[in-house]
Structure 1
Amino acid sequence: MINLISKALFLLMLITGYLAAQDAVGNIHGKITDVETRQPLAGVNVILEGLSLGAATDAAGNFQITGVPVGVHTISADYIGYQKISRTDVVVRGGRITFVNIELAEAAIEGQAVTVESDFFQKDAANPSANSFSAEEIRRSPGGGGDISRILSALPSVSSRGETSQDIMVRGGSPLENGFFVDNIPIPQVNHFTSPSGASNGPIGIINTDLIDNVDFYTGGFSAKFGDRLSSVVNIDYREGNRETFDGQLEMNFAGFGGVFEGPLAKRGSWLVSGRRSYLDLVADAINAGGAPRFEDLQTKIVLDINPKNKITILNIYGASQFQQEKEDALDEGFDEYFKVNNRQNTIGANWFSLLGTSAWSNTSASFTHKTFDFYSNASRSDIRLVENNFSENTLHLRHSTFFQPGSVANIELGFNYDYHFDNFSLQLLVPDTTISGVIIPVETRDNVDVSGARMGAFASLTLKPAARLTTVFGIRGSYSGFNEQTVIEPRFSLSYQFTSRLTLNGSAGIFHQGVSNYLISRDKQFRNLRDLQSRHIIAGVEYLLTPDTRLSLEFFDKDYSDIPEPTPATATRGPLYLPDDRFGASNWGLLTNNGTAYARGVEFLIQKKMAVNFYGMISGSYFRSRYEDFNGVTRDRDYDNRVLFSVIGGYHPNKKWELSVRWTYLGARPYTEIDVAASLAAGTEIRKTDAVNEASLPAYHALFLRADRRFNFRNATIVLYTSIWNAYNRTNLDEYAWSQTKREILEVKQFSLLPIFGLEYEF
């Protein structure tokens, strides 16, 4: 294998035939705009830190810096009346153009813009509980595997199940409480290998992080422009393709192979295409997968400038995955079923962005999402078909926002969204099933159950700056569901007060709703009348800049949940479980009402250092409780009540060729419901002690991830070799316990063991 890689590297170097790194240079092009009005800023001084290179923006806000040595740089943008901003992790490659777009905010304190210190952390008054990541910060993250969800899980109060799943649980919520947007277009899931409920059942994501320009992660108290989510929003911006020349990138790693290609479009735009294909079935044994997972995805972004003030972008994101567990593998592992599952989803949409005058803009998007799920399972010992579950979900989305600035101390943003769903579900339970409570579910067939209806909302947001140090945001959102004919009003409020140039106080509060999933509605037509779930957020925090490139933040959060669907005691088939935490999309719960309540509250801290020179790092920690009251009035732990989360990430650039990074993650003991061995033996299937839901705990999870990158820079190309070790000290982390009737014992379902990962990128 090493010999093969060496030959491949030698061939690439021969093909490129370019000069060594010390002779290689690249160019930096970009645009500077006002963060609020989106207007281009002319005359901004753009400086490359540590080098005597720079430029000034033209009337369109554009700048160019040529002859930049290859490597990782920091760019600073300075403009009178605005806060000076520094952008770290600007990677310059030989013979290529690196595009850097920077948004400047007006100086919060009079005279602040002429100070020497630069701001490495851009603030968002409308979303105080926000964290942002650049493309390079995402790419190099140890243990990230190029997946956006794993990178976000390093933040405080963000939990996960470990390496085998991409789900993120934000501040004690379930993975289904998070919303994802790419370029203002809703994406139903960002994961391959999903369950009927939408939760992740695999280690790979759909989003190609090589296409990302920036990620904003709102962990609570988010703006009124976002609706139909209870916990968090992940807002992803894809970069544009190269507007000036053709670029390409080929990559091969443990998960598969792929490429990214981009170039100009008629001198008025750009195109960008990415494709990936896996060969995970070849390494399934190495990662204890017990099967042969496969995936593929194809993503495209096209940008066209209609004129200097109007731009249209077209986006398409396609993903498909398959996991098939063979009978022999299931028997060897002790599993009572073997199965096959296929997932497909495609989202296509367009954005029209328009600058209106000098202090206003509008953004309108229309998109369509198609998603299918096909599943069957057979009994391992008898080959009897047990279940067939198939569905198709289709959604039309329309979103619009208009922003205008009536004066220097006020901003207004108005908008709406309209989503129309037309879905079809089929379920065949071919043999009687016994739930984890021991209740027998008879054979049932639901063929071609249509679930359709609209969800819509409108919002208004007013930002006021009554004093130089104070910013307040008042928001209101109204939402209507055509499924239950319910109208809800959701007030939102946030504030940010800057005591000094280093110390800032933040706070936010709001009410949030989320509709019952159409998958659940398909199981019983009466569920259509269930009210939307509700959460109330209260958040208070403080930020302090220890140095210009190092930030300390401390935040308290409180979430109260109400109108949660729960079964009535007389009809409950699965005991007093918390329905929104169901990962697998159970088919029968009994009669449901909206009487459930829950809460999540805690405190978290984050120390984040940007790579201003050659070192970066992040330390995060949190303590929280996430609990619910069951239908018997007993307060119980939710499935993701880890209580303690801690993470450390660090990276070091000894020179422009090497980068070394490390990550250590600790997830506190996750609650689970114990298996009743005697009852399972008697029933011949898994029975849990549902009179003691989540009263036991799995062992705490912790793992060490190491990564090393080596760059080979040439005049017109770059080769990147990287190696990573997941679970470096080979900790045995458990995902769950499961019952094996085949072996008549409890099985330990484990996370990945020590896993070395190698990858190669060729950029030209």
Structure 2
Amino acid sequence: MKTTLLTLVCCLFCLSGALIAQNATVKGIIFDDQQKPLPGVNVTYGDDGTQTDFNGVYVLQIPSDTDIQLKFSYVGFKDVTLNLNLSKYEDYEFNYAMKTDIEVIGTVIIDEKRRKKVQGLEPISPEIARRMIGGNPGVENILQSLPGVNINNELSTQYAVRGGNYDENLVYVNEIEVYRPFLIRSGQQEGLSFVNTDLTSSVDFSAGGFQAKYGDKLSSVLDIKYRKPASFDASLDLSLLGGSMAVGGASKDGRFTGIVGLRYRDNSLFVDAKQTETNFRPKFADAQTYLTYKFSNKFELGFLGNIAINQYDYEPLTRQTNFGTLAEPIALLVFYDGQEEDRYNTYFGALKGTYAVSDTYTAKFIASAYQTTEQEYFDILAQYRLGEVNTNIGDDNLGEVEFSEGIGSQLTHARNDLDALIINLQHKGIVSVDDESTVEYGIKYTREDIRDRVQEYEIIDSAGFSIRPPIIDFANNQPYTPFDAPIVPFTDIRAQNDVQINRFSGFAQWSKSTTWGSNEVWLNGGVRAQNWTVSGDGIESVSQTVVSPRAQISLKPDWDMDMLFRLSGGFYHQPPFYRELRDSTGTVRPGVKAQQSIHIVLGNDYSFNLWDRPFTLNSELYYKNLTNVNPYTLENVRIRYRANNNAVAYSYGLDMRLAGEFVPGTESWVSVGYLKTEENIDDRGYIFRPTDQRLKFAVLFQDYVKIIPDLKMYLNLVYQTGLPGGSPSYADPYDFQTRLSDYKRADLGVSYVIVRKDKQRDSGFLKPFKELSIGAEIFNIFDVQNSITNTFVRDVYTKTQYSIPNFLSPRVYNVRLTAKF
């Protein structure tokens, strides 16, 4: 594989050698004020000229030994002139970041957003993602405020979209697919999101009905672009939860650009405030870099790298959870012994070469490698009491357990190790047929090599009686009937798997902008296909193939009202990843089929002015019909599949979002979503899917004090109806259809801007700062007890199994300092 990667890089380098200019030439790349390549810039002298391509690149032949004045112009940006006199065969490079023309910047922003919305993507401002408050700040924190996206754990960056689960979402950074660790089972263990907002220049999101050029998953696409700095910049973010810093810059000739980000995260502030008293020592850190070098105006090579080191040491001590009713309060009191030690170390590197073969054809070559080494070790003995709570106000023992209804213990053990290597080789091409039509294609090879050892068991004891597994052949009527069979664990999983998966996938799609009478129309049609083969030590080799046609149409009527309509859909497949092939016993089942979903999405964007300020109302009505469904149970953020395509399902709903300047100069929005999703396992009837989140209401709001505009407020508010409470992995989900309580959370942040971009200090210790602010944050300001899952506790005496909620973090305070240099 190393030879293959080296060969690819050498080929890309060799291609650049054929691009040496033969005449007096001026060339370069033009950026906008956000350091993003700017396509369509007019580069002219006299009556001749050219335009920058979609990568912002231009190449122009000019007369040698002659005074030439070049003009760079683009609607919404200030014109730039460049005086040149080049000698014969001289090759001159000029790179420039154009400055905004304030008078028409609103039009430019609307046009850019409209172009993405036409394609079914929702653009999100990276600056909002950096500023907005949340338990896990970043892009995922902003996604939580969108309709149709559900996050029920503030310590997790994993999200469910329109009834799908955490494994059904695609994430790309600069067109490179990125991955997550496998073994994490709770938000406390996750560490950091892959996406570093300090490096981000654009964020686009699709909640369904996406184009064929995106990969094979069922639910959503998050498309991230990392920026290419045009000059030196640096940023710093510090708080009680950790910190981050980023440094970027470019060479004098603009050929080389680079940006590096470092992050550290410590969630102990949240965990120490929860009901379980612990010794908690988390260490989550990562380093990322994005480097680019332009060998010529037609060839650029980029490198994306990431190293993440996550260490999670957890020693629970005690826990008391009160539940039940006001009339009959019950408490669970637990004393722990033992600890958990987890390690998740990931390494990721990717090369991306972009070669502008001609004005109408651009070729891209991508090679990436991802390795994760993970361990999950724990031995925890939990000795518990279930009993009645003292409710006598004024009593010294108020809130304590006075009478025990059940006593027992539970020993959980794990020695899980996983080592996975994923290698991708990909070629993509973009062909401009004419000014209105584009053809895109791609081919990709993926090699997945997973070595996995699973050793888990659970022993349950109640009042001295060992509880046997819930198997009919081993009915246990203790203490009334003695049972003299050997003692066995309640659950026991032992497996060792060595699995290889080879995938070949490709796509082709066509896009066209046209008119229908006086109405504007955008069409897109395409098809994806994937073939994969599962093999390994002691595993029978199985190959399968799926084909996924998809289409979109957008219509902008010639009306006085600014309306845009979208209709998209098609067949979406999710060929099984390793986790979907492994059942609850740890056995790999290579014959598991790809889950299939037929999407139909009807959308509308209505742009209007309210209070003389711009607003947009986005609405989407969707329906999904799912077949070959692989049922699963959800334990916090861990998914355990049945590895059996024995179910069908459906999802439908309505998402609405009103976004605009509720406060002049700021962007805020209100989201409302309705969802219903159910599944039918083995034709036994429809039941709730684990992600059946019926109703959602979210507000993301920015404000400032009118007389002190540098004093700003950020509010992130979410209300979601309760999820199904889940079931033990061994249990029949048809017997566990109760719901958790509603999820209600509000996070508030207040900051004061000491230095801002348009008002920098000319002297003093604040002179180096381009921006500087300090603030305070309150997480869960109403101190709501939200729950993520249930703990199932069994009492042998009453033969009752209690589902006891696991509560999330209460109110937490934080301080934060941000700066840019």
- TM-score tier, shorter chain, comes to 0.7 to 0.9
Task: Give, in whole Å, the separation in 2 of the partners of 1:441 and 1:419.
Answer: 39
What are the residue-to-residue correspondences of 1:303-702 with 2, within 5 Å?
A: 303-329=292-318, 338-380=339-381, 386-429=413-456, 443=492, 445-447=494-496, 449-467=497-515, 469-483=520-534, 484-500=542-558, 502-521=562-581, 527-547=589-609, 549-566=614-631, 578=632, 583-586=637-640, 589=642, 592-609=643-660, 613-653=664-704, 654=706, 657-673=710-726, 690-693=733-736, 695-702=737-744
- 2:440 is paired with a residue whose SS is strand
**Greater CA radius of gyration, 1 or 2?**
2
Q: Name the residue aligned to 1:275.
A: 262
Whole-angstrom distance in 2 between the partners of 1:429 and 1:213: 43
The CA distance in 2 between the partners of 1:202 and 1:497, in whole Å, is 42
CA distance in 1, matches of 2:438, 2:95: 22
User: Cα deviations across residues 456-510 of structure 1 (Å, max 9, x unaligned)?
Assistant: 2111111123416111101111111122411111100000000137111101011
Aligned partner of 1:315: which letter?
L
In the superposition, relative to structure 1, how do residues 585 and 281 fare at CA in structure 2: closer, same or farther (>3 Å)? same
State how far apart, in whole Å, the 1-side matches of 2:740 and 2:363 are. 49
Counterparts of 1:244-255 in structure 2, within 5 Å, are 244-245=231-232, 247-255=233-241
1:232 is matched with: 220
Q: CA deviation at 1:195?
A: 3.5
1:757 aligns with 2:779: no
**d(CA) in 1 for partners of 2:140, 2:319:** 29
- The one-character-per-residue Cα deviations of 1:355-409 (angstroms, maximum 9, x if unpaired) are 2322332222111000122012213159977221110111001222211111233
**Kept after mapping to 2: 8 A contact 1:673/1:689:** no
CA contact (8 A) 2:292 2:301 kept: yes
CA contact (8 A) 1:365 1:400 kept: yes
CA distance in 1, matches of 2:656, 2:81: 38
Contact 2:172 2:222 in 1 (8 A): yes
Q: Per-residue deviation at 1:688?
A: 6.2
Shift of 1:334: 5.1
Amino acid across the alignment from 1:489 = V
- The 2-side partners of 1:325 and 1:236 are apart by 33
In structure 2, relative to structure 1, the CA distance for the partners of 1:261 and 1:741 (3 Å cut) is: farther
Letter in structure 2 aligned against 1:712:
I
Corresponding letter in the other structure for 1:494: Q
CA contact (8 A) 2:290 2:303 kept: yes
Partners in 1 of 2:54 and 2:185 — Cα distance? 39
What amino acid is the match of 1:387? A
Q: Of the two structures, which has the highest relative contact order with CA contacts closer than 8 Å and spacing of 6 or more?
A: 1
Tell me the CA shift for residue 244 of structure 1. 3.1
Whether the 8 Å CA contact 2:216–2:575 is kept in 1: the answer is yes
Distance change >3 Å, CA 465–CA 264, structure 1 → 2: closer
**489-498 or 657-666: which moved more?**
657-666
In structure 2, C-alpha distance between the alignment counterparts of 1:55 and 1:150, rounded to whole Å = 38
Q: CA contact under 8 A between 2:619 and 2:655: conserved in structure 1?
A: yes
Quote the Cα distance in structure 2 between the aligned partners of 1:538 and 1:435.
47
Corresponding residue number in structure 1 for 2:281: 292
RMSD of the TM alignment (CA)? 3.4
Query: In the alignment, what sits opposite 1:708?
Result: 750
- Alignment partner of 1:142 is 2:171: no
Aligned to 1:123: 115
- Alpha-carbon distance change, 757 to 288 in structure 1, aligned in 2, over 3 angstroms: farther
1:78-97 per-residue CA deviation (whole Å, 9 max, x = no partner) reads: 9xxxxx412xxxxxxxxxxx
Question: 1: distance between equivalents of 2:662 and 2:355?
Answer: 35
Q: Matched residues in 1 for 2:211 and 2:252: separation? A: 37
Matched, 1:172 2:169: no
The range that moved more, 737-746 or 469-478, is 737-746
Q: Is the 8 A contact 2:191 2:310 kept in 1?
A: no
Matched-pair contact (CA < 8 Å) for 2:264–2:284: yes
Distance, in Å, in 2 between the alignment partners of 1:361 and 1:174 is 36
* Deviation of 1:342 (Å): 1.5
The verdict on how the C-alpha distance between 1:478 and 1:276 changes in structure 2, with shifts beyond 3 A counting, is: same
Mapped partners of 1:615, 1:164: distance in 2: 27
The Cα offsets for residues 545-583 of structure 1, whole Å up to 9 and x where unpaired, read as 0237311111110111111235xxxxxxxxxxx458994
User: 1:181 and 1:197, CA in 2 relative to 1: closer, same or farther beyond 3 A?
Assistant: farther
Return 624-633 or 259-268, whichever deviates more.
259-268
Report the CA distance shift for 1:60/1:605 in structure 2 as closer, same or farther (over 3 A): farther
- Report the equivalent of 1:727: 780
Looking at structure 1, the residues matched to 731 and 192 of structure 2 have their Cα atoms a distance apart, in angstroms, of 30
> Is the CA contact (8 Å cut-off) linking 1:32 and 1:44 kept in structure 2?
no
What is the alpha-carbon distance in structure 2 between the residues aligned to residue 306 and residue 441 of structure 1? 63
What pairs with 1:61-80 in structure 2 (closer than 5 Å)?
62-65=96-99, 76=104
The one-letter code sitting in structure 1 at the alignment partner of 2:620 is E
Distance in 2 between residues matched to 1:432 and 1:640, nearest whole Å: 29
CA distance in 2, matches of 1:415, 1:763: 39
Deviation at 1:639, TM superposition (A): 1.2
Counterpart CA distance in 2 for 1:228 and 1:662 is 35
Q: Secondary structure at the match of 1:136?
A: helix
The 1:742–1:340 alpha-carbon spacing in structure 2 relative to 1, beyond 3 Å, is farther
In 2: Cα distance, 1:319 partner to 1:696 partner = 38
* TM-score, length-scaled by structure 2: 0.73
Extract unaligned runs of 5+ from structure 2: 1-32, 41-51, 59-70, 83-92, 321-332, 383-408, 461-466, 473-488, 535-541, 756-760, 762-766
What letter is aligned with 1:651? Q
Tell me if structure 2 keeps the 8 A contact 1:334–1:742: no
What secondary structure does 2:569 align onto?
strand
- Within the alignment, does 1:258 sit opposite 2:247 as a pair? no
Tell me which amino acid in the other structure corresponds to 2:155: T
Is this contact kept in 2: 1:723–1:756, CA < 8 A?
yes
TM normalised by structure 1 equals 0.79
Distance 1:282 1:550, change over 3 A: closer
Which region of structure 1 is more displaced relative to structure 2, 487-496 or 399-408?
399-408
**Aligned match of 1:570:** none
Percent sequence identity is 19
- What is the distance in 2 between the residues matched to 1:199 and 1:460? 38
Distance 1:532 1:671, change over 3 A: same
Partners of 1:336 and 1:741 within 8 A in 2: no
The AA in structure 1 aligned to 2:416 is N
2 CA distance for matches of 1:61 and 1:542?
39
Contact kept, 8 Å, 2:284 with 2:311, in 1: the verdict is: yes
How far 1:742 moved relative to its partner?
11
Q: Deviations over 1:408-445 (max 9, x none)?
A: 33111111121111110011235678899568767554
Q: Is the contact made by 2:668 and 2:702 (CA closer than 8 Å) also made in structure 1?
A: yes
Deviates more, 1:386-395 or 1:657-666: 657-666
CA distance in 2, matches of 1:148, 1:204: 11
Q: Is the 8 A contact 1:161 1:167 kept in 2?
A: no
Q: Distance in 1 between matches of 2:776 and 2:512?
A: 49
